[in-house]
Amino acid sequence: MLGAAEVAIPIWDEKLSTGIEEIDIQHKELIKRIDELKKSIYGGNSRNEVKKMMDFLGSYVMEHFDAEEKLMTQADYPDISKHREEHKKFKKLYSDLVIEYDKRGGDYYFALDIHKQLIAWFTKHLLEIDAAYVPFLEKKF
């Protein structure tokens, strides 16, 4: 398993690969979006990108998490309930962000805030939580 010192997010690195094409494509898209958000913060035009990110996460969390959970079910992954709990935590974080976004709008500070939270959450999730299912799914797919 990769350590925090080797964290590659927000740049895709082969070390992040799960070996499952569908999942890797979705992870790459997420990392690309987080990077676009970062660039927009530096570029001073984050408002648009925040809106895009909020819309993207709304469908992404549903579709990507569902795709992973389906594969874990098919592979009889023993830690699926723990993994599902993590996904639920993100769904909760996302719904909190939606409330915040509706109140504040996508200002610069909100952009900085969600960027920081997405990096923190997905760094841990991709490198630890998702990485844990790789050996099990590799055997099945």
Footprint of Fe ion on this chain (CB under 5 A)? 68, 130
Of 48 and 74, CB closest to Fe ion: 74
CB of 114 to Fe ion, least distance (A): 19
Of 49 and 130, CB closest to Fe ion: 130
Of 47 and 124, CB closest to Fe ion: 124
Three-state DSSP string of 71-89: HHHHCCCCCHHHHHHHHHH
Residue 33 CB contacts under 8 Å (≥ 6 apart), including other chains: 52, 53, 56
Phi/psi region, residue 19 (left: phi>0; alpha: psi -120 to 50; beta: rest), is left
Of 47 and 128, CB closest to Fe ion: 128
Angle at 124 between CA 139 and CA 93, to 5 degrees: 115
Of 77 and 110, CB closest to Fe ion: 77
CB of 1 to Fe ion, least distance (A): 15
- Using alpha carbons, select from 28, 12, 23, 9 the residue that is nearest to residue 116: 9
CB of 61 to Fe ion, least distance (A): 10
CB of 99 to Fe ion, least distance (A): 23
What is the spatial distance between Cα 1 and Cα 102, in angstroms, rounded to a whole number? 38
CB of 90 to Fe ion, least distance (A): 8
